[in-house]
Amino acid sequence: MLKRTLVAAAAALGLWAGGALAQAYPTKPVTVIVPFAAGGPTDVIARIVGENMSKTLGQQIVVENVVGAGGTTGITRGAQATPDGYTLMMGHMGTHGAAPALYPNLKYDPTKDFEPIGLAAGTPILIVAKKDFPPKDLKEFVAYVKANATKINQAHAGIASVSHTTCLMLTHQLGVKLTEVAYRGTGPALNDLVGGQVDLMCDQIVNLVEQIKGGQIKAYAIATPARSPALPDVPTTREGGLPEYEVSAWNALFAPKNTPAPVVARLNDALSKALDDPTTRKRLLDLGGVVPEGQQRTGAYLGDFVKAEVARWSPIIKAAGIVGQ
Ligand code: MLT
């Protein structure tokens, strides 16, 4: 706590600006808290960009999975960490967009308690199901889900996660309530979808490409206006007759509030270099990730984007009639 206060005071006095400490940063490994299980979309994105950022920073980026409460446990821990650039977080549309509307007692404010570093990847949402789920296409899916809602299990990564909120949108539009099964992330949820223990999920594309291509799960639609080059055979929700269901997610790097500006700038630069690195880009694109470009890479853009996301998700969640945790 004392260290946190001293760092904050130093930052406020501008002692970091151009100073030796900032120039030397980082002198030891940097931890990135991923608030979901290993192997899921947020973890995969953190590891892909982190690997390249490590090279630029000359220090290892260590991913720490701190799971629970739809990602809000890990982000709470990160928000309260010493703001010295050695603890960062990979947040996303759930933790920094939907969470305030679902957790009235949330211990962080996505719009105030962070230094936004930059967007790491956009992640289109797909409606997927276990491979022997009966409907053949999206039209049949809609009819089947409406007729069999009480028998259907829907996997998600906890209240306010992307998979929870984006399926909330879907089930609200369809006028159904499914049985929800919460996991520590959609990595483990996907394992159960492949194993047939759960019926369906709304999930980020980067978690799904391999299993869809391999026929281990069924993809009904991608909820973006255009198909993804990573999954060219999967129709859009518009094509499939459900144009009102369009939603995308994103993952982004954040530092705790009062992390010195030169440190944040160094991290932003390393992230941007990672997104320009041909190997890193290819890995993200092959998984269907959308690589932020130009202005979208700035911390200022991310800060404004988070405000807009919090404002966007609040009425959607209220309309769905979900009571906060
Ligand atoms: C994860 O990494 O497991 C996800 O980002 C979970 C989610 O928000 O659906």
Per-residue pLDDT band for 2 (boundaries 50, 70, 90) equals very low
Please report whether residue 230 resides in a domain.
Answer: no
What per-residue confidence (pLDDT) applies to 1? 47
Domain range enclosing 150? 125-222
The per-residue b/e assignment along 231-251, b for 16 or more CB within 10 angstroms, e otherwise, is beebbbbbebebeebbbbbbb
Q: Is 187 in the pocket of ligand 1 (CB under 6 A)?
A: yes
199-254 per-position pLDDT tens digit = 999 999 999 999 999 999 999 999 999 999 999 999 999 999 999 999 999 999 99
Please report whether residue 93 resides in a domain.
Answer: yes
**Separation of alpha carbons 158 and 80, rounded Å:** 21
Helix 261-276 × helix 278-286 angle, to 10°: 70
Tokens of 233: 């055979």
Tokens of 168: 């909330």
Determine how many CB atoms are found less than 10 A away from the CB of residue 29. 12
Which residue in this structure is represented by tokens 């570093």? 117
Rounded to 5 degrees, what are φ and ψ at 236? -80, 165
Which residue in this structure is represented by tokens 């192997």? 39
Query: How deeply is 140 buried, as exposed, middle or buried, from its count of CB atoms within 10 A (0-12, 13-18, 19+)?
Result: middle
Per-residue pLDDT band for 320 (boundaries 50, 70, 90) equals confident
Count of domains in the chain?
2
Has this prediction a pTM greater than 0.75?
yes
Asked if 213 and 297 sit in the same domain, the reply is no
90-148 per-position pLDDT tens digit = 999 999 999 999 999 999 999 999 999 999 999 999 999 999 999 999 999 999 999 99
Per-residue pLDDT band for 318 (boundaries 50, 70, 90) equals confident
Asked if 268 and 191 sit in the same domain, the reply is no
**Separation of alpha carbons 18 and 157, rounded Å:** 42
Asked if 83 and 135 sit in the same domain, the reply is no
Distance 296 CA to ligand 1 centre (A): 22
Q: Is 96 in the pocket of ligand 1 (CB under 6 A)?
A: no
Q: Is 185 in the pocket of ligand 1 (CB under 6 A)?
A: yes
Per-residue pLDDT band for 324 (boundaries 50, 70, 90) equals low
What's the CATH code of the domain at 60?
A: 3.40.190.150
When the pLDDT of each residue in the chain is averaged and rounded to a whole number, the result is 94
Q: Which of 222, 240, 266 is the last residue of a domain?
A: 222
**Separation of alpha carbons 151 and 148, rounded Å:** 6
Q: Is 188 in the pocket of ligand 1 (CB under 6 A)?
A: no
Please report whether residue 104 resides in a domain.
Answer: yes
Q: Is 207 in the pocket of ligand 1 (CB under 6 A)?
A: no
Rounded to 5 degrees, what are φ and ψ at 211? -70, -30
What's the CATH code of the domain at 185?
A: 3.40.190.10
Q: Give the number of the atom of ligand 1 that is nearest the alpha carbon of residue 185.
A: 3
Take atom 5 of ligand 1 and give the residue whose Cα is closest: 42
Angle at the Cα of 148 from the Cα atoms of 159 and 136, rounded to 5 degrees: 95
Distance 150 CA to ligand 1 centre (A): 25
**Separation of alpha carbons 137 and 121, rounded Å:** 28
Asked if 199 and 136 sit in the same domain, the reply is yes
Collect all residues with Cβ–Cβ distance below 8 Å to 100 and sequence separation of at least 6.
106, 109, 110, 310, 314
Please report whether residue 15 resides in a domain.
Answer: no
Distance 162 CA to ligand 1 centre (A): 6
Nearest to residue 108, comparing CAs of 95, 118, 120?
95
Question: In this structure, which amino acid lies at residue 135?
Answer: P
- Percentage of the residues of the chain whose pLDDT score is greater than 90: 89
